[in-house]
């Protein structure tokens, strides 16, 4: 949460951009009807239109008693090339008008600029940040230090490290708007992570210009705490109707697929027939309702440990978002490190994108760093996981255990049983009831990438342990074949013997009989 001099804002939070000159929805209505506890307005525009007043308070001007953030005019610098104010003047103005959160006047990098231009924007922004420190020291508002660099990720990293060493209470990633307008969401992932991984983890990150609800969950999953946009109003002017899964044109709508007050009190045809000003106002209200509702959905998902499920649903809104979700897999270790642990709910595996879930990464890390097989285990028995969970209580496994113990007696204690299953790969019997190994569901049939991922975990496990031999009971499905191949490679590297029992019905009496016979033949040799 953000603690400001006016009040506390729970994060993640969306900041609607308020135009202080012309605004379809008054900030007071935003507070009372839309539950907007924080808004953002432009200090540069305020200065141009109201700067001659002897006394100016931004809360009084907006008639809003919530938290007010002010931008410094950086967007105008990006669009128009400059502003008629100095960095020192805009800092003093934001202090004078009582902003709760304020931004220094940076120089946005923009998109598609040359490297030399990008380097200059980074260095100039850092120079201005350094110069601002004496002016904001001891001030009671939160000051934002912008990160620049655009699509030049090494410059974003350099900018983040430098600005992160300064005592700003909030950081912000500049120049993402043009990236998002072009649906370059994989680029956005890289930009945010380049900044996030090089900034202090204990201070919030603001993503400038992120305004469409369909990508809010992506921004939050990346570690963005607040984001702002005027898209809710700008889209309305163009007859665009926002939904959590994309944007529709009002002229194409037969029905209004939303339960907000605007949509419940109007038909689509009624909105189209309104006077232009009334139509823009109604669409603006709808778009803001949708944006705020999406933030509520995200906060609820976080409280339930279900943010990833929401992200997967939203990623189906557009192929570019689906690509971004897959791209997140490159940062799975960083995502896991910053995600809370056990939340008490099951893990859903839909496809290979789910492999980047923090729960999957965390389990694999703990297996690698914290787990060792029982010390007296000489023989690894790797068996296909039964359908029922937890695997150790499944009727099929109980039959296997009785058969092995009946045939081998005390020698059965030399055998360590592990199950193989997607996506986690290896499930040791003694861990089969721990989270998340018995609290996950998969969408069958699983795709090849997920199966290969699971078989790779099996291979790594066999290579890292000290068994004298391995026995594999597998089905004839694709996962079984992949597991056998990786087990063969791992056993060859270890210089140990692998015995395979393959059967279309690996839990049948005939398959279990053949498995027990193989174990009876092996164990005397091993001892």
Tell me which residues are annotated as active site. 71
DSSP, collapsed to helix, strand or coil, labels residue 418 as strand
Backbone angles phi, psi at 259, to 5 degrees: -110, 15
How many helices (H) and strands (E) are present in the chain, helices listed first? Answer: 22, 19
Tokens (6 digits) for 492 = 């060859």
CA 90, 91, 95, 101 torsion: positive or negative? positive
- Is the link from the previous residue into 166 a cis peptide, with omega within 30 of 0? no
> Rounded to a whole number, what is the largest CA-CA distance in the chain?
96
Look up tokens 């192929």; give the residue.
Answer: 319
CB 215 within 8 A of CB 180: yes
Backbone angles phi, psi at 338, to 5 degrees: -100, 5
CB 118 within 8 A of CB 155: yes
How far apart, in whole angstroms, are the C-alpha atoms of residue 300 and residue 308?
12
3-state secondary structure 161-227: HHHHCCCCCEEEECCCHHHHHCCCHHHHHHHHHHHHCCCCCCCCEEECCCCCHHHHHHHHHCCCCEE
- Angle ∠(182,187,193) on CA atoms, nearest 5: 140
The CA–CA distances, whole Å, from 125 to 107, 162, 436, 455 equal 6, 10, 45, 48
The CA–CA distances, whole Å, from 128 to 42, 86, 89, 122, 429 equal 19, 10, 12, 10, 59
Count Cβ atoms below 10 Å from residue 395 Cβ, excluding itself: 10
Which of 67, 79, 89, 82 lies closest to 13, judged by CA? 67
How far apart, in whole angstroms, are the C-alpha atoms of residue 364 and residue 436?
11
3-state secondary structure 333-398: HHHHHCCCCCCCCCEEECCHHHHHCHHHHHHHHHHHHHCCCCCCCCEEEEEECCCCCCHHHCHHHH
CB 447 within 8 A of CB 423: no
Name 305's Cβ contacts closer than 8 Å, sequence gap at least 6: 340, 343, 344, 345
Name 22's Cβ contacts closer than 8 Å, sequence gap at least 6: none
């Amino acid at each position: 949460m953000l603690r400001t001099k006016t009040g506390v804002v729970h994060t993640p939070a969306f900041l609607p951009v308020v135009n202080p000159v012309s605004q379809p929805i008054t900030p007071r209505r935003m507070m009372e009807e839309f539950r907007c506890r924080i808004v953002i307005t432009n200090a540069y525009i305020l200065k141009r239109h109201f700067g001659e007043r002897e006394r100016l308070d931004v809360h009084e001007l907006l008639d809003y008693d919530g938290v007010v953030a002010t931008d410094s005019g950086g967007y105008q610098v990006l669009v128009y090339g400059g502003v008629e104010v100095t960095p020192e003047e805009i800092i003093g103005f934001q202090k004078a008008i009582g902003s709760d959160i304020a931004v220094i006047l940076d120089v946005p990098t923009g998109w598609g600029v040359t490297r030399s231009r990008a380097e200059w924007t980074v260095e100039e922004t850092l120079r201005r940040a350094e110069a601002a420190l004496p002016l904001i020291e001891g001030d009671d508002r939160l000051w934002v230090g912008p990160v620049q660099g655009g699509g030049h990720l090494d410059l974003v990293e350099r900018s983040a490290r430098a600005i992160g060493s300064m005592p700003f209470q909030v950081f912000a990633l500049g120049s993402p708007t043009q990236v998002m307008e072009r649906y370059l969401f994989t680029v956005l992932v890289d930009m945010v992570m380049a900044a996030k991984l090089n900034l202090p983890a204990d201070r919030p990150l603001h993503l400038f210009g992120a305004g469409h609800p369909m990508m809010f969950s992506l921004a939050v999953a990346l570690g963005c705490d607040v984001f702002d946009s005027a898209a809710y109003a700008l889209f309305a002017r163009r007859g665009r109707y926002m939904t959590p899964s994309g944007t529709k044109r009002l002229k194409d709508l037969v029905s209004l697929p939303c339960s907000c007050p605007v949509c419940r009190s109007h038909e689509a045809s009624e909105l189209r027939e309104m006077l232009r000003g009334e139509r823009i106002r109604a669409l603006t209200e709808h778009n803001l309702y949708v944006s705020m509702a999406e933030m509520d959905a995200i906060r609820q998902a976080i409280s339930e440990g279900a943010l990833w499920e929401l992200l997967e649903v939203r990623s189906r809104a557009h192929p570019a978002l689906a690509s971004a979700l897959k791209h997140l897999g490159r940062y799975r270790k960083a995502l896991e490190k910053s995600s809370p642990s056990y939340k008490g709910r099951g893990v859903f595996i839909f496809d290979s994108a789910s492999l980047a879930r923090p729960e999957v990464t965390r389990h694999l890390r703990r297996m690698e760093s914290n787990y060792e097989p029982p010390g007296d285990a000489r023989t690894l028995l790797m068996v296909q996981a039964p359908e029922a969970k937890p695997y150790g209580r499944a009727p099929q496994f109980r039959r296997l255990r009785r058969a092995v113990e009946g045939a081998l007696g005390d020698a059965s204690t030399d055998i360590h049983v592990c199950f193989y299953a997607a996506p986690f790969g290896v499930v040791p019997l003694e861990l089969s009831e721990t989270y998340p190994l018995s609290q996950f569901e998969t969408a069958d049939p699983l795709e090849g990438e997920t199966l290969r991922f699971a078989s790779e975990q099996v291979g790594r496990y066999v290579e890292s342990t000290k068994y004298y031999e391995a026995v594999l009971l597998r089905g004839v499905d694709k996962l079984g074949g992949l597991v056998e191949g990786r087990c063969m490679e791992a056993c060859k590297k270890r210089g140990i013997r692998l015995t395979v029992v393959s059967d279309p019905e690996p839990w049948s009496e005939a398959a279990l009989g053949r498995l027990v016979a193989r174990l009876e033949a092996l164990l005397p040799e091993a001892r």
